[in-house]
Amino acid sequence: MSHTGQWNVRLHLFEDDDGTTKAHITLDTGTTTLTGSGTAHCNPSDTMVPEIGDELAAGRAMHDLAHQLLDVAGRDVQGMAASRPGIPRAAVPPA
């Protein structure tokens, strides 16, 4: 069985005047939309390097999104196993 697909991801970065960088990431699969978020705070004694804040906030937003996607997949696997007679619930891997 061959399968191809395209999912779209949008990442938006915002920096506040206080040195806080915020990231919002949206995954659109065509049937599901998930949104993750992350922040990074610059220590007042550190040199302001916006790229580092962007990397940290974006990485944290992607990490949040990844956990949500894995949770959705786990629930889908459990739902499939529950709908198939003869497969013990214990055989379903945890999410």
The CATH code of the domain that includes 17 is: 3.30.160.240
pTM: 0.80
Determine the structural domain holding residue 15 and report its residue range: 8-80
Phi then psi for residue 36, to 5 deg, are -115, 160
Say if 88 falls within a structural domain. Answer: no
Say if 41 falls within a structural domain. Answer: yes
pLDDT at 54: 96
Say if 93 falls within a structural domain. Answer: no
Rounded Cα gap, residues 83 and 94, in angstroms: 16
Provide mean pLDDT across the span 76-88.
77
pLDDT at 47: 84
Say if 91 falls within a structural domain. Answer: no
Domain count, the chain: 1
Tokens found for residue 25: 């990431």
Query: 28: closest CA among 45, 52, 51, 11?
Result: 11
pLDDT at 36: 98
Please say if the pLDDT value at position 94 is more than 70: no
Say if 20 falls within a structural domain. Answer: yes
Say if 89 falls within a structural domain. Answer: no
pLDDT digits (tens, 9 = 90+) for 42-71: 888 888 888 999 999 999 999 999 999 999
Tokens found for residue 88: 């013990």
Query: 20: closest CA among 67, 52, 65, 64?
Result: 52
Say if 13 falls within a structural domain. Answer: yes
pLDDT digits (tens, 9 = 90+) for 8-26: 999 999 998 888 999 999 9
pLDDT at 53: 93
Taking residue 91's Cβ as centre, other Cβ atoms within 10 Å add up to 7
